[in-house]
Structure 1
Amino acid sequence: MAYQTVQQEYLQIPFVTRAYTTACVLTTAAVQLELITPFQLYFNPDLILRNYQVWRLITNFLFFGPVGFNFLFNMIFLYRYCRMLEEGSFRGRTADFVFMFLFGGLLMTIFGTFVSLVFLGQAFTIMLVYVWSRRNPNVRMNFFGLLNFQAPFLPWVLMGFSLLLGNSIIVDLLGIAVGHVYFFLEDVFPNQPGGGRWLKTPFFL
């Protein structure tokens, strides 16, 4: 009975959120069980271009480090904001949501080449948080019961938290930058005088 309840809950998660979070958890589990190593997953343009290890373009978005506080923190935020986007502003627009994933992933891959980042999953999570926060500007947030602020400040609060944990803020800045590019092209520019929609979901999606 408990298994059926868990299965029902799992199947109620929107498709894209379910697929991405499951892939992240399974990838981390495979590393923990030593079936694969992070060296087979990380982003390396040389190995992708010269050795045709194309899977690295995807796997570097799926590994968030060993199981621990950082992994759980990222998974909670990834699941929460990915699901809220998919059930909110992307409800009934799965193709557009997948296109945002592809657009964000492509931009991050290009930027990641210049800033020597080997795993981009955390930056991708920040991008999702940024887009959600800009589309829900009036939502009041509370961070660990310490800080109260409006939703648009959330990515910056998370960046400050990263800094406190001793992590590099380059990852957070990359996520914010890519999130802003998407938000500007999709939500701001089309409503400007003389503006238009530059981001159009390809027909094959």
Structure 2
Amino acid sequence: MAYQSLRLEYLQIPPVSRAYTTACVLTTAAVLELITPFQLYFNPELIFKHFQIWRLITNFLFFGPVGFNFLFNMIFLYRYCRMLEEGSFRGRTADFVFMFLFGGFLMTIFGLFVSLVFLGQAFTIMLVYVWSRRNPYVRMNFFGLLNFQAPFLPWVLMGFSLLLGNSIIVDLLGIAVGHIYYFLEDVFPIQPGGIRILKTPSILKAIFDTPDEDPNYNPLPEERPGGFAWGEGQRLGG
């Protein structure tokens, strides 16, 4: 019964969140038994001169050895990726995949200049940033110590990284890419004279999008899908 319940819960995770989270967990498991991080990290010379193209992907999948930092990142990745996919990207899987590709592309470009070898944590911060800007009135509680509204969450996470002695370059990169996406997708198109610059390629829509749901459907607020207490959210007035 426990296996069936776990399997059912796993299958209920929306497809992009399920695929990315699973890939991250399996990559970490593989590092424990089969491969080393040296075969995964972002190295432009090995990518472009020795055609180790897989590093463009694997550097987003490894979050370090199993421990507090790994679990912390996995919980935030799963949680905010799922809330985005079930919230503002509901029924728009192709647009969600395009955000992944756009964010990953920008981070790869920036990664050439900031000497980062793994970009998964920055990608998580990007997801958190986009969710937080689309849910500005959600009140957050971080470890039961801090209360603030959602747009401050990425900065709180950066401060937490600083307290743990980690480099904040990773967090700043995630915030920067998240803001670029949010501005181009949510802000600039509605400005006077603004246009929609980011357009999901039709091939992605053909692959990922299903027939439209009820045209009168309005997405529910992007509440948290799980019971984690790290970065807990509650809507104002809720």
TM-score of Structure 1 vs Structure 2, range by shorter chain: over 0.9
Instruction: Quote the offset at 1:4 in angstroms.
Output: 1.2
Runs of 5+ unmatched residues, structure 1: none
Q: Deviations over 1:100-140 (max 9, x none)?
A: 00000000000011000000000000000000000000000
Partner of 1:156: 155
Provide the C-alpha distance between the structure 1 equivalents of 2:64 and 2:2, rounded to a whole number of angstroms: 30
For CA contacts below 8 A with separation 6 or more, give which structure has more relative contact order.
2
Instruction: Quote the offset at 1:53 in angstroms.
Output: 0.3
Instruction: Quote the offset at 1:34 in angstroms.
Output: 2.9
Provide the C-alpha distance between the structure 2 equivalents of 1:159 and 1:3, rounded to a whole number of angstroms: 37
Q: Deviations over 1:54-98 (max 9, x none)?
A: 000000000000000000000000000000000000000000000
Provide the C-alpha distance between the structure 1 equivalents of 2:2 and 2:182, rounded to a whole number of angstroms: 41
Runs of 5+ unmatched residues, structure 2: 201-238
Q: Where is the helix percentage greater, Structure 1 or Structure 2?
A: 1
Q: Provide the secondary structure at the position in 1 that maps to 2:103.
A: helix
Q: Deviations over 1:151-199 (max 9, x none)?
A: 0000000000000000000000000000000000000000000001000
Q: Provide the secondary structure at the position in 1 that maps to 2:174.
A: helix
Q: Deviations over 1:30-54 (max 9, x none)?
A: 11x3300000000001000111100
Q: Provide the secondary structure at the position in 1 that maps to 2:11.
A: helix
Provide the C-alpha distance between the structure 1 equivalents of 2:142 and 2:112, rounded to a whole number of angstroms: 33
Report the RMSD for the aligned CA atoms in angstroms: 0.5
Provide the C-alpha distance between the structure 1 equivalents of 2:109 and 2:180, rounded to a whole number of angstroms: 14
Using structure 2 for the length normalisation, give the TM-score.
0.84
Instruction: Quote the offset at 1:2 in angstroms.
Output: 1.6
Provide the C-alpha distance between the structure 2 equivalents of 1:8 and 1:27, rounded to a whole number of angstroms: 23
Q: Provide the secondary structure at the position in 2 that maps to 1:63.
A: coil
Provide the C-alpha distance between the structure 2 equivalents of 1:61 and 1:38, rounded to a whole number of angstroms: 12
Q: Provide the secondary structure at the position in 2 that maps to 1:42.
A: coil
Partner of 2:7: 7
Provide the C-alpha distance between the structure 2 equivalents of 1:147 and 1:3, rounded to a whole number of angstroms: 36
Provide the C-alpha distance between the structure 2 equivalents of 1:149 and 1:66, rounded to a whole number of angstroms: 31
Instruction: Quote the offset at 1:5 in angstroms.
Output: 1.1
Partner of 2:60: 61
Q: Provide the secondary structure at the position in 1 that maps to 2:140.
A: strand
Instruction: Quote the offset at 1:3 in angstroms.
Output: 1.2
Provide the C-alpha distance between the structure 2 equivalents of 1:86 and 1:133, rounded to a whole number of angstroms: 14
Using structure 1 for the length normalisation, give the TM-score.
0.97
Provide the C-alpha distance between the structure 1 equivalents of 2:48 and 2:75, rounded to a whole number of angstroms: 34
